[in-house]
Amino acid sequence: MKRQLLIFLLTLGLVTGTVSAANGFHEVQKEEYWVSWDGGANVTIDTVLYSPAELLNRTKESILEVGIENATKLFASQTAQKLAQEGLTLKNATAEIIGYNSTGPLETIVRGYIPNLAKYYSYDGTWEISLDVLRIADLYQLDPTKINGSVMLENTFTVHLPEGARVTALPENYSSASNGSYVKINVLKKGNEVVISSVIYFARGVTYGDIQKIYGKPRAFIIQYRGRSGEENAPTWGMEILNNITVERNQTLFDSVEKYLEPESYVNYLKVQIAYQGVDKAEQALYQRYAEAFQRQGVAVKGGRVRILNLNGTGPLIVEYHLVLQNFTREVNGSYVYAYNPKLELGTMQFLNRLDANVNETKVTRIKLPEGAKFTEIPNDIIIELNGNRVTMKVEKVRDNEVLIKSSVFLRYGTPLKDYQSLMAKVPDEVEFKYTLAEESSKGGICGPAFIVPLAITPLLVRRRRG
């Protein structure tokens, strides 16, 4: 989570650029959560800034300048805004500032209520609470390499679980160090109370390399427990793709329609961003990206266009592609091969713990060869399921020179990483469609790799796309 004191300092412009901190930057933060069985939690975040003196004095002066009432409102508002960026809502937020008119440390306290701090996963009947024990979110804004001194962040996270909760997993104790800088994490359970302590220390002169070494292995710090069922709030990332690949004598026509369906809030956000950039510029940029990616794979792009549709209407964002290609498929031992990825490029997604959304993608690809050509080998259908997750591919031979491939991938909200990996391990990375061309149709020498790159505007679904 983004924390309120750093937020306020950034708002006032006090932790930007190089900060002189001869006696070091020292902050102690205590967070306490009282969690109920609906997943909501009352929260208190208590932060004390001890040094450097220069920063303390400047902060106190700024608080006096804006007024204590405005300063407390600013703390509460900024904390709520930052939590919202992480998908958390802080309700009934109040703030308190202590020591702003003294010579001692500066203490800030924010209290409020966070609905759905704990998330319920019907996948395995588990509740989970994820905590930013390493203060990663704050360190995006507080750059330790630009502070002329050491940085010490001492943190205690106390979580009071609901009565009757059975803890099934806790974060492990953890430590990592580089050139005098380090992080140390200790986890302790007392009945239904879980206390996680972390110390984050960056020595004076810490480098980005040191930070990368310390934080180089991403990990999630999660408390898991069971006891009662709950309600899921599961967003769905939905997408439909329709591809038509028409192989001609001297070229291949690639026509695609991509429909970005949900979540509605994100689709609308994308529309706003594209409109702000300008539709023409966005279309030109997408075309250029496709052309460059094809060229890197040895596929020549003779021409084409990209159109972005339904930008001002309700419903999905639609992107149409028309590309004229040469060397789209490759020739192997006298037979032409089209390679297809039944995972729909969803086989290498990166996440730490669980899928935090349903993923629902369908693709229909029609491949039509010239008259006189024919498919000599098509892959078998694929149906693979694991705990409600599914990967399917059905191939229909419409005629000798035309096939229709219907694929879908559905991944459940809450699917653990190991189950996702197990599912994808059972699905081939690619299957091959083989065909021959009539002598008069093959003079164009259609060969080469078949790669399509994605629009990649949906963060969860960033991957390389093929037709």
DSSP letter string, 205-244: T--HHHHHHHH-S----EEEEESS-------EEEEEEEEE
pLDDT of residue 173: 93
pLDDT of residue 29: 93
pLDDT of residue 446: 42
Rounded Cα gap, residues 6 and 14, in angstroms = 9
Type and span of the H or E element at 330: strand 330-332
Provide the edge-to-edge strand list for the sheet that holds 236-247: 300-309, 317-326, 252-262, 236-247, 358-368, 402-411, 389-399, 382-386
Q: What are phi and psi of 336, to 5 degrees?
A: -90, 145
Nearest CA among 145, 451, 461 for reference residue 290: 451
Strand-strand pairing, 166-169 and 41-51: unpaired
> And the tokens for 9?
């300092």
Strand-strand pairing, 147-148 and 19-20: parallel
> And the tokens for 82?
């930052």
Strand-strand pairing, 382-386 and 119-121: unpaired
pLDDT of residue 124: 95
- pTM (2 decimals)? 0.81
Consecutive 10-residue averages of pLDDT for the chain (467 residues) = 47 45 81 97 94 87 89 84 78 93 92 95 95 83 81 96 96 93 95 96 92 84 95 91 90 92 89 91 90 84 93 92 86 82 91 90 95 93 97 97 97 95 96 80 41 41 34
Q: Are 218 and 134 in contact (CB under 8 A)?
A: no
At which residue do the structure tokens 């020591």 appear?
99
Q: What's the one-letter identity of residue 9? A: L
**What does the pLDDT look like over 315-330, one tens digit per residue?**
999 999 999 998 887 7
> And the tokens for 204?
């004076």
Angle at alpha carbon of residue 54, lines to 52 and 59, rounded to 5°: 95
Q: Are 64 and 56 in contact (CB under 8 A)?
A: no
